[in-house]
Amino acid sequence: MRIMVMFMRMTLDLPIGLVEEARVVLGFKSKTDTVVLALRELVRRHRADDLKDLLGHVDLEIDLSKSRRRPARGPR
């Protein structure tokens, strides 16, 4: 299995104070690492919220009586 990681160089106008505060709070030396972690966390939280929105909305067609029955054991 081969995993490809692609990077893109770009110019962004970011609030200096916010980036610096995030960098210090996260303990990074690199602004790039700070922004990458912040983006990953934002995506993770959004995905978690999407999963929470599904709570109670997924229809599973499960026969509980069959699923709770255990198969008969053979002779011991």
Residue 12, CB-side half-sphere exposure with 13 Å CA sphere: 10
Domain locations along the chain = 16-55
Q: What are phi and psi of 15, to 5 degrees?
A: -65, 120
Inform me whether the pLDDT recorded for 17 exceeds 80: yes
- pLDDT tens for 58-71 read 677 777 777 777 66
* pLDDT at 72 exceeding the cut of 70: no
31 neighbors 12 (Cβ within 8 angstroms) = no
Give the pLDDT of residue 64. 75
Q: Which pLDDT does position 76 carry in this prediction? A: 63
Question: Is 70 exceeded by the pLDDT of residue 74?
Answer: no
Separation CA 39–CA 46 (nearest Å): 11
